[in-house]
Amino acid sequence: ILTSITSAKIQVNGVHLHYQQTGEGSHAVLLLPGMLGSGQTDFGPQLQSMNKQLFTVVAWDPRGYGKSIPPSRDFPPDFFERDAKDAVDLMQALKFKKFSLLGWSDGGITALIAAARYPNLIHKLVVWGANASVTQEDVRIYNGIRDVSKWSEKVKKPLEELYGHKYFAETCEAWVDGISRFAENSDGNICQQLLPDIKCPTFIIHGEKDPLVPQAHAEYIHKHIKGSRLLLMPEGKHNLHLRFAKDFNREVENFLR
């Protein structure tokens, strides 16, 4: 059966956060989007096709992204920590006592932090396209996507429609500056010290052709989360959950069962 996808806002930590929700299963799952991401732009195939008898699926727009504007997005040094708290507080406000996290890219970093900080609330964790540190190579990669006019039309168009050109362009530049700052920490640390605190079952997926996140990041996360599982998708790029949605959804649902 196709159950509809509802869309709503709820006040969390002084901000009206927008989210989409679908399914009526007993296992609650939160989808955490990447940079400039939102439920509608980042998780269409998951909202549409994940098993709605088994799962209740929530996709959120972090503050300053998607329809969770105002406020405008900013990148203070603790922006990942802030997103992690917002995400967990959102699920609690929606009355989910325990839930799993599916985090992509920046949302994967947010999910790692949330799983480490709130171990009694998180059931299982899936991350892909994530990194626990920022290297000089990463900074070079980020600067390569700084200018949104150089992005492919396919990726750019939905974001320009959602944000307007100015907000989209300025927020991307601010993100590059914000994430690059982590490279100044020792070891470029974002959340490396938190990984051993993650006690829930964890599944890391990496696309071997990901141009944005070198494979060493996935391997580092796998090595430092005890008992975690790593799946390499040989043809996967950064958006493997969209490009190979059927395979991705199957792997993830099997892990979550």
| Cα(51)–Cα(57) distance, integer angstroms | 9
Question: Please, which residues have CB within 8 angstroms of residue 244's CB and are 6 or more apart in sequence?
Answer: 233, 235, 236
Tell me the catalytic residues: 105, 210, 238
